[in-house]
Amino acid sequence: MDWDRAASHIEELIRRTPADYAEVRLEESEVTAFRFRGPTLESVQENASFGGAIRVLAGRGWGFASFNSLEELEDRLERASALAALASERRTRPVDLAPVPRVRDRFVPEIAEDPRDVPLEEKIRRFSDYNRRMLESSGEIASSQVAYGDRKARLLFVNSEGSCIDQTKLDIQGALVAIATRGSDTQMGSAYFGSSSDYGVTRGLEEEIDEAVRTATALLDAPGVPGGRYTVIAAPPMAGVFAHEAFGHLSEADDLMDNERMREMMKLGRRFGPAHLNIFDTGDTPGSRGFLRYDDEGVAAGRADLIREGVLVGRLHSRQSAATMGEAPTGSARALDYRHAPICRMRNTQIGPGEASTEDLFEGVKRGLYVVSPYGGQTDDEMFTFMAGKAYLVEDGRATQLVRDVTLTGNVFHTLANIDRIGREVGRHESPGGCGKGEQSPLPVGHWSPHIRIQNVTVGGGAG
Amino acid sequence: MNRWHDEGERIIDALVARGLQGEVYCLGSEREPVRFEDNELKMMESSTRTGFGLRLFEEGRIGFAAATGGGSADLVEKARAVARFGSAADYELPGPNEYPEVDTFDPRIEKLAAGDMLETGQRLVDDILAFEPDAQVGATVSRSVGTVRILNTRGLDLLHSGTGHGVGCQATVVGEEGLLHTGEFAGGHHMVEDVEGILDSVLWQLEAASRIAEMPDGTYPVLFAPTSLGDVLRPFLACADGDAVSRGISPWRDRMGEDLVDPRFSLIDDGLLPEGASTAPWDDEGTPSQRTPILEEGTLRNYLLDLKSAARLGRCPTGNGFRGGSGAAPSISSSNLVVEAGDTPLEDMVRSMDDGLLVLSLMGAWGANPYGGRVSGNVNLGFRVSRGEILGRVKDCMIYVDVFEGLKDRLVALSRERERRHSTLFPHVLLEGVSISAGG
């Protein structure tokens, strides 16, 4: 496809629409993915995808149409415009868009090693070696799951305000899971990687893999923990998921803008945590899976401070939520791909570093949990849960015993206040998969964090 | 006239010309959702899709390539390039077969106007707000029409169209006690007739949750509503997955025919379930759909199998090879899930509970190692039941249950009534001795 010609054709087309605002996104992507299950290379695939989306604002109404063929462009623009007109008749609240600078740019991120230049054979060989290493490491490793994926996309964004952005995005991610069985017990340990700039992150994973094997086999002998309330020390990968689930989602302003009570609860200036707590979200972390130059409304994706010194100072905005709440856009309007309209999302959510050393974190903990790696998490904007893939019991200030099946839960509005220690060093953890919101999942995000300690966390458990 | 899926024929012709085996999955669809958020219409959408997925067998190896829109021209060459490194071709594609008749096309949905869907959504929003003016109400009404064509080099050429209609709504109340999330949905291949039922369900949830009840730590009987049963069943489906069985990681790998749970419990994967949202004449590999009992009166009877796992285990495929769209290679998934009803009226089950919990939805219960059978989650919407009466909503607590042990030794009753929702048909299930930890 000739991108420049497509861009000028689209600019011409939307100049003629009577809509108050219109934007067109085109996306061309290439994906390579493969998966080992046990010793077998289970699937290998190459996907090529082309698609586009149109969003039209007419009066008070939004219309959206997506498509797979450029030939459909004019028809789909008509459909989106008709839907917008229908929507406008129905809505009572106006739709305003915060003003943003007009951007005309072509952006290609700096790529250290491009996976698209690496022959498939070489990629498969590397992961086949890793897979063999796992499977041959211990008699109790019954199987494995190894997944690799890379995706490179070129995106064109054109809007009726004169912005035109041609942006390239790269995403590399995967996981290596060791599966141990004994009798009817099956346990897992995992290693993973992610990047937006460097295939090199797939090199030198031997140590992580060996640790995954040790975890899976050791979990066969690990007991559960009794349910109850614990002091929890979270390692960076886990603390990152915690920041994402326990606070990040609540900062997404499209869920707040038309909800008076939530706006009241999320008033800027409200204290959420202790004075040493800082949380921010930024697209400006090259290399992270949450790296983003421009969001899907053509807004530069810079840093947004969410909590500064324990106090709520900002949130994640689209142009509409920013205008509705009288705040500034943050470049947080993201669409999973051309099939979806942009909504407020995180990029790389981070807890700022504190002053605690590792000893400080464990100091004085009579009975607690050290949660090391995440399995996943979820929130409903008030309660959150997150699951540990690997956790230790902490007794008298020392991590003593590996335990299994640790699920933690808490209330967003109370738990942040219980963070009493924050480590000095930020872990730049990148994990595969991504974030889900509504129908849009998995969106690449990052969550970098230091160690944190949280008092009084509820843990589900039946043992003991 | 050329149809979009004629492209599939050209791809098969190209394979045959090169003397290759393979299969093309062609998917075309149109979907129009109308979304309400925060008591207002949010956006009206329309999407059209065409896509092709090619699975190719060459020199004993398999390659998969996919494309959307016009990108299918070099699909064969792409798949061949991948097949050089692909997995071993240790199974065969199916030839033509006998297929069941299923009713998955509703012409009313094809003609459904955006304006009508708008009215349905607006009515739900208005009626909930009339009942609870403090609620933030959202609703989604959608219609879809999709066509799938599967062709392979063994002479298979299957064409099937289906419609879809979905109606759902959520109401959130922000109160002094925090957030209350309620919701209900219905959907399938036919027009959702009972919009009133969706509304009634949400209003019941709002009403029942207007009081708050404490729940001290301990073990209690827990009544799992059909909406939360999916979390309870997740470990069972993971263990019945033919792929996990063939790889030796499923704890059920050598337990076929054994009594695993209470004889009152039967779990069936039913690809033919009338009104089931996943009902189709065949799966995404062209295997005829069927009804497959997984647990029959407590006994393990079948695993869920796609072509590959069936070949590895020396069994017949059960029609459980599904794809998440044209871009994904097939893998094992359940179709419609059915749990057989018990003989206790639901009302009697609630009345029999001296002190326990009714769970409508859990949060985060999907996130643990499924093979262990331990299900742990935050109670997103649940009610304390005391002396047979619903006392009030329970917040900020977690439940923890070993569902293998629970359904074996601690099953109290299954309700006589069942609820049909999307691709499930489930009763209420009462287990005793479930551990609950309350929040601080």
Closest residue, chain B, to A63 (C-alpha): B44
Residues of B in contact with A386 (CB under 8 A): 364, 367
Selected for mutation to probe chain A from B23, B34, B41, B309 (highest A CB count within 10 Å) is B41
Say whether residue B114 is in contact with chain A using an 8 A CB cutoff: yes
- The mean per-residue pLDDT over the stretch B240-259 comes to 95
Say whether residue B217 is in contact with chain A using an 8 A CB cutoff: yes
The span from the CA of B403 to the CA of A389, in Å, is 20
Say whether residue B39 is in contact with chain A using an 8 A CB cutoff: yes
Closest residue, chain B, to A69 (C-alpha): B69
Q: Residue A407: its pLDDT value, please?
A: 87
Selected for mutation to probe chain A from B91, B174, B306, B323 (highest A CB count within 10 Å) is B174
Selected for mutation to probe chain B from A27, A34, A45 (highest B CB count within 10 Å) is A45
Least Cα separation, residue A9 to chain B (angstroms) = 19
Is the previous residue joined to A442 through a cis bond, with omega within 30 degrees of 0? yes
Closest among A156, A152, A157, A165 to A111, alpha carbons compared? A152
CATH code of the domain covering residue A54? 3.30.2290.10
Residue B371: which of A186, A407, A410 has the nearest Cβ? A186
The span from the CA of B5 to the CA of B26, in Å, is 6
Closest residue, chain A, to B73 (C-alpha): A48
Judge if A251 and A400 occupy the same domain. Answer: yes
The span from the CA of B413 to the CA of B349, in Å, is 7
Strands A435-437 and A440-443: antiparallel
Q: Residue A462: its pLDDT value, please?
A: 57
Say whether residue B371 is in contact with chain A using an 8 A CB cutoff: yes
A338-357 pLDDT tens trace: 999 999 999 999 999 999 99
- Domain count of the fold of chain A: 2
Whole-structure pTM value: 0.94
Handedness of CA B269, B271, B273, B277 (dihedral sign): positive
Could you give the count of Cα atoms lying within 13 Å of A151 in the half-sphere of its Cβ? Answer: 22
CB-CB contact of A409 with A383 (8 Å): yes
Burial class (CB in 10 A: 0-12, 13-18, 19+), A189: buried
- The mean per-residue pLDDT over the stretch B248-266 comes to 96
Closest residue, chain B, to A185 (C-alpha): B372
Least Cα separation, residue B49 to chain A (angstroms) = 6
Structure tokens at B388: 């047979």
- The mean per-residue pLDDT over the stretch A393-407 comes to 94
Q: How far apart are the first and last CA of chain B?
A: 68
Judge if A254 and A208 occupy the same domain. Answer: no
A157-208 pLDDT tens trace: 999 999 999 999 999 999 999 999 998 888 999 999 999 999 999 999 999 9
End of a domain among A197, A219, A241? A219
Judge if A184 and A316 occupy the same domain. Answer: no
Closest residue, chain A, to B235 (C-alpha): A186
Contact B78 A48 (CB under 8 A): yes
Contact A258 B48 (CB under 8 A): no
Residues of B in contact with A50 (CB under 8 A): 68-71
Judge if A44 and A81 occupy the same domain. Answer: yes
Q: Residue A173: its pLDDT value, please?
A: 98
Q: Residue B178: its pLDDT value, please?
A: 83
pLDDT band at B1 (very low <50, low <70, confident <90, very high): very low
Q: What is the mean pLDDT of chain B?
A: 94
Contact B68 A37 (CB under 8 A): no
Contact B178 A409 (CB under 8 A): no
CB-CB contact of A390 with A405 (8 Å): no
Task: Identify the H or E element spanning A124.
Answer: helix A120-135
Structure tokens at A385: 């849960």
CB-CB contact of A27 with A54 (8 Å): no
Residues of A in contact with B142 (CB under 8 A): none
Higher-pLDDT residue of B143, A377: B143
Closest residue, chain B, to A339 (C-alpha): B47
**Sequential DSSP letters for A128-167:** HHHHHHHHTT-TTEEEEEEEEEEEEEEEEEEETTS-EEEE
Q: Residue B35: its pLDDT value, please?
A: 96
Q: What are phi and psi of A70, to 5 degrees?
A: -60, -25
Say whether residue B400 is in contact with chain A using an 8 A CB cutoff: yes
Size of interface A-B (CB pairs under 8 A): 268
B17-41 pLDDT tens trace: 999 999 999 999 999 999 999 999 9
Distance, C-alpha A212 to centroid of its chain: 23
Judge if A215 and A248 occupy the same domain. Answer: no
ipTM above 0.85, yes or no: yes
Residues of A in contact with B86 (CB under 8 A): 41, 43-44
Residue A50: which of B69, B179, B439 has the nearest Cβ? B69
Closest among A200, A165, A175 to A292, alpha carbons compared? A165
Q: Residue B437: its pLDDT value, please?
A: 87
Residue A44: which of B64, B367, B377 has the nearest Cβ? B64
Least Cα separation, residue A193 to chain B (angstroms) = 20
The span from the CA of B362 to the CA of B384, in Å, is 15
Judge if A395 and A430 occupy the same domain. Answer: yes
Say whether residue B367 is in contact with chain A using an 8 A CB cutoff: yes
C-beta atoms surrounding A311 within 10 Å = 15
Could you give the count of Cα atoms lying within 13 Å of B14 in the half-sphere of its Cβ? Answer: 19
Q: Which residues contact A111 (CB under 8 A, 6 or more apart)?
A: A170, A197, A198
Q: Which domain holds residue A47?
A: 3-219
Contact B372 A404 (CB under 8 A): yes
CB-CB contact of A189 with A215 (8 Å): yes
Could you give the count of Cα atoms lying within 13 Å of B271 in the half-sphere of its Cβ? Answer: 25
State the fold for domain B6-206. PmbA/TldD fold (3.30.2290)
Least Cα separation, residue B161 to chain A (angstroms) = 20
Percent of chain B scored above 90 by pLDDT?
88
The span from the CA of B128 to the CA of B122, in Å, is 10
Higher-pLDDT residue of A458, B419: B419
Closest among A270, A353, A276, A259 to A314, alpha carbons compared? A270
Judge if A125 and A260 occupy the same domain. Answer: no
The span from the CA of A388 to the CA of A297, in Å, is 36
Q: Residue B71: its pLDDT value, please?
A: 67
Contact B366 A376 (CB under 8 A): yes
- The mean per-residue pLDDT over the stretch B195-212 comes to 96
Burial class (CB in 10 A: 0-12, 13-18, 19+), A129: exposed
Residue B69: which of A68, A121, A384 has the nearest Cβ? A68
pLDDT band at B137 (very low <50, low <70, confident <90, very high): very high
Residues of B in contact with A65 (CB under 8 A): 45-48
Higher-pLDDT residue of B372, A176: A176
Judge if A180 and A316 occupy the same domain. Answer: no
End of a domain among A167, A187, A219? A219
Judge if A179 and A200 occupy the same domain. Answer: yes
Q: Residue A184: its pLDDT value, please?
A: 80
A245-279 pLDDT tens trace: 889 999 999 999 999 999 999 999 999 999 999 99
Q: Residue B439: its pLDDT value, please?
A: 66
Strands A164-182 and A141-159: antiparallel
Give the residues across from B55 on adjacent strands.
Answer: B23, B64
The span from the CA of A54 to the CA of A159, in Å, is 10
Distances in Å between the alpha carbon of A156 and those of A159, A330, A346, B338? Answer: 10, 20, 21, 46
Distances in Å between the alpha carbon of A163 and those of A15, A54, A160, A299, A448? Answer: 12, 15, 7, 10, 32
Interface of B with A in 75-94 (CB under 8 A): 78-79, 81-88
Higher-pLDDT residue of A241, A310: A310
B66-101 pLDDT tens trace: 999 766 778 999 999 999 988 889 999 999 999 999
The span from the CA of B182 to the CA of B203, in Å, is 9
- The mean per-residue pLDDT over the stretch B342-355 comes to 97
Judge if A155 and A258 occupy the same domain. Answer: no
A48-65 pLDDT tens trace: 999 999 999 999 999 999
Q: What is the mean pLDDT of chain A?
A: 94
3-state secondary structure of A194: strand
pLDDT band at A461 (very low <50, low <70, confident <90, very high): low
Selected for mutation to probe chain A from B35, B42, B116, B182 (highest A CB count within 10 Å) is B42
Selected for mutation to probe chain A from B32, B37, B48 (highest A CB count within 10 Å) is B48
- The mean per-residue pLDDT over the stretch B170-197 comes to 93
Contact A258 B40 (CB under 8 A): yes
Judge if A238 and A205 occupy the same domain. Answer: no
The span from the CA of A331 to the CA of A345, in Å, is 9
Residues of A in contact with B364 (CB under 8 A): 376-378, 384-387, 407, 409
- The mean per-residue pLDDT over the stretch B271-297 comes to 97
Write a three-state SS string for B342-406.
CCECHHHHHHHCCEEEEEEEEECCCCCCHHHCEEEEEEEEEEEEECCEEEEEECCEEEEEEHHHH
- For chain B, the structural domain boundaries read 6-206, 211-440
The span from the CA of B409 to the CA of B415, in Å, is 17
Residues of A in contact with B243 (CB under 8 A): 37
Strands A141-159 and A333-334: unpaired
pLDDT band at B372 (very low <50, low <70, confident <90, very high): confident
Least Cα separation, residue A101 to chain B (angstroms) = 25
CB-CB contact of A294 with A165 (8 Å): yes
Q: Which residues contact B313 (CB under 8 A, 6 or more apart)?
A: B242, B245, B246, B303, B305
Task: Identify the H or E element spanning A236.
Answer: helix A236-243
A76-104 pLDDT tens trace: 999 999 999 999 999 999 999 999 999 99
Least Cα separation, residue B178 to chain A (angstroms) = 7
Residue B179: which of A339, A380, A386 has the nearest Cβ? A380
Residues of A in contact with B380 (CB under 8 A): 380, 383
